[in-house]
Amino acid sequence: MIIALSGPSGIGKGFIKEQLLQVYPFIEELIWLTTRPFRPNEQHSNRIHVSLPIFNQCVESGELVLTQKIYGHHYGLKEDLLPSSRVRLTELHPDNLEKAFKINPTILAIGFVTFDFALLHKRLSILRNTESVAEIEQRIAVAKIEIETILRQRSLFASVIEVSEASESSVFDQDSMLNCEWGNETPWREWQDHGVSQVKNTGCSIVISLSGRDLDSCCNLIRSFDKLGIDAYEINIFCSHSGVLHGNLNVDAFHLQQLMKKVHGVTTTPIWIKLSYSNLLVQMAREAENLGADAIVCTNSIGPGMLIDTKTAKPKLGIKGGGGGVTGRAIFPIALWCVHQLSQALTIPIVGCGGISTADHVIQMLMAGASAVQLYTAPALKGPVVFKRITNSLQNFFAKQTEYASVTDLIGLIANKAREHVFSSPLPVVIEEKCTGCGVCTYACAFDALELIHRPGKNALAVITDNCNSCNACVGVCPPKFNAIEESF
């Protein structure tokens, strides 16, 4: 199968391609020859840069399946487009689609269009800082023609995606959630009769998550699921929205005592107690350990939180009062702190959760003292592909960091490294070959410690001045695509 991405410059084809290749290692990129000069920071492994005479020789010899000319530069596809069992990926100019479909009618084409040309201009200005204003304006003009071509050939595409400010925030930036769950749309017997067996068939362990608010209902569910051979029960004693309505059980030691007494009366299966951030977190976790809990899961959602629809002046959540739990990346630093504090106080394992969405988050949780991690918001917003992305990135991490044999080597590494103040560090470093001169770092610096140096025939270069106090804000705002500024810890 061949997947072809088609759309104007700056619309996001490259980002989508990078994500697909990262998550699905079996996908192969088709190889293109091009006469376009190599760009600074370019990492395309699928483009072979050649001179015009060599390109013309390849055309004359019939080596190139498709050719296209973009902004004065020639491109030629060096591989065949015939159907095969391999999954191959390429970017394809809209003008070449009909010819490509004549060679292979099974191509899966995905088109990208926008009617927000101010957004396109912004993207090109930031990500293509190698080009002048006039060149960017030329790309915008060409983009309008390419979008018209895609819309005219809509029948050739499996999907045409419109990119806008709204889609950008909901697809690429939305990584947190305000939510409330009022009941469960799937009856618990559905999980008993089908869900558990589906997980068992994969060979994975089964941990059932239950509410610990109603003690009798919790015990009845445990009796039913115990017949199926469950590996552990996670019992949640906190809920951001219902805590307001039914009492904040997250800090109710008496309720925890009654819960553990009843649960241990009906099962010998390991019990994990799920807590959320509070001023009494460590005390509650110690109490759970003393009462026989086998692990602590932390942190559940934090809240209640609230959002208001400014068009209607009503809460965005329909629950009475409008309060819900905040989850996702926004709470990750708090969750990490909770795990670190618990690791210093407990002897039982900790399952870290709250805002985990990347392999780096997983590694941080382990280093803070977690023995395992739990994800919800990231896969809920972006699908199960998140798990593949994280496991692939973890494999890459261990391949490079050979001092660690497995995840167990990471657990609790920070334990003795956060006990003293460290208020100074070496200055961050600008990596010249990666810097595009986009200027984002200069806007973020509150100390005028960064300036752009304009160089004839080259990109502008960000330079760190003597005003720098090593706050490392510039490291955080440098676009991840470039990673042109590194801390020197």
Any idea what the CATH number is for the domain that residue 439 is in?
A: 3.30.70.3270
Same domain, 165 and 183: no
Question: How far is CA 301 from each of CA 47, 208, 214, 259, 377, rounded to the nearest angstrom?
Answer: 46, 18, 19, 21, 10
Same domain, 221 and 323: yes
Query: Half-sphere exposure of 41 toward its Cβ, with a 13 Å CA cutoff?
Result: 20
Which range is most confident: 22-36, 81-95, 287-301, 393-407?
A: 287-301
Say whether pLDDT at 164 is over 80. Answer: no
Question: How far is CA 143 from each of CA 96, 231, 401, rounded to the nearest angstrom?
Answer: 15, 56, 43
Any idea what the CATH number is for the domain that residue 384 is in?
A: 3.20.20.70
Any idea what the CATH number is for the domain that residue 144 is in?
A: 3.40.50.300
Domain housing 451: 429-486
- Give the model's pLDDT for residue 168: 40
Residues 104 and 2: beta-carbon distance below 8 Å: yes
Task: Give a yes or no: residue 256 inside a domain.
Answer: yes
Confidence band, pLDDT 50/70/90 cuts, at residue 414: very high
Say whether pLDDT at 200 is over 80. Answer: yes
- Give the model's pLDDT for residue 129: 56
Amino acid at 196: V
Confidence band, pLDDT 50/70/90 cuts, at residue 247: low
Task: Give a yes or no: residue 35 inside a domain.
Answer: no
Confidence band, pLDDT 50/70/90 cuts, at residue 167: very low
Domain-ending residue, one of 380, 410, 440: 410
Same domain, 375 and 236: yes
Contacts of 390 (CB under 8 A, 6+ apart): 358, 359, 362, 375
Tell me the per-residue pLDDT of 282-326, one tens digit each, with 9 for 90 and over: 999 999 999 999 999 999 999 888 888 888 898 888 778 888 889
385-400 vs 359-368: helix axis angle to the nearest 10? 70
Confidence band, pLDDT 50/70/90 cuts, at residue 439: confident
CA distance 204 to 215: 28
Confidence band, pLDDT 50/70/90 cuts, at residue 410: very high
Same domain, 390 and 303: yes
- Give the model's pLDDT for residue 431: 92
Task: Give a yes or no: residue 51 inside a domain.
Answer: no
Same domain, 184 and 314: yes
Same domain, 211 and 125: no
- Give the model's pLDDT for residue 487: 87
Q: Count of domains in the chain?
A: 3
> At 378, phi and psi to the nearest 5?
-60, -50
Confidence band, pLDDT 50/70/90 cuts, at residue 41: low
Amino acid at 346: L
Task: Give a yes or no: residue 74 inside a domain.
Answer: no
Token pair 């990666």 is found at 434
Please give the structure tokens belonging to residue 29: 């990129």
- Give the model's pLDDT for residue 42: 56
Task: Give a yes or no: residue 49 inside a domain.
Answer: no
Same domain, 212 and 274: yes
Same domain, 158 and 183: no
Say whether pLDDT at 170 is over 90. Answer: no
Tell me the per-residue pLDDT of 336-384, one tens digit each, with 9 for 90 and over: 999 999 999 999 999 999 999 999 999 999 999 999 999 998 888 777 8
Domain-ending residue, one of 158, 173, 188: 173
Same domain, 296 and 207: yes
Say whether pLDDT at 93 is over 60. Answer: yes
Length of the chain: 489
* Angle made by CA atoms 356, 362, 367, in degrees to the nearest 5: 125
Domain-ending residue, one of 128, 150, 173: 173
Task: Give a yes or no: residue 159 inside a domain.
Answer: yes
Burial classification of residue 218, based on how many CB atoms lie within 10 Å of its CB (0-12 exposed, 13-18 middle, 19 or more buried)? buried
Q: What percent of the chain has pLDDT over 70?
A: 92
Same domain, 399 and 456: no
Instruction: For residue 250, give the nearest of 216, 268, 231, 273 by alpha carbon.
Output: 273
Say whether pLDDT at 117 is over 70. Answer: yes
Instruction: For residue 370, give the nearest of 394, 345, 336 by alpha carbon.
Output: 336
Residues 158 and 48: beta-carbon distance below 8 Å: no
Same domain, 296 and 315: yes
Task: Give a yes or no: residue 43 inside a domain.
Answer: no
- Give the model's pLDDT for residue 31: 83
pTM of the predicted model over 0.75: no
Task: Give a yes or no: residue 42 inside a domain.
Answer: no
Q: What percent of the chain has pLDDT over 90?
A: 36
pLDDT top residue among 167 and 368: 368
- Give the model's pLDDT for residue 428: 93
Q: Mean pLDDT lowest for which of 62-71, 118-127, 254-263?
A: 118-127
- Give the model's pLDDT for residue 320: 81
Say whether pLDDT at 481 is over 70. Answer: no
Write out the catalytic residue numbers: 239
- Give the model's pLDDT for residue 404: 94
Please give the structure tokens belonging to residue 89: 């990926």
Same domain, 349 and 449: no
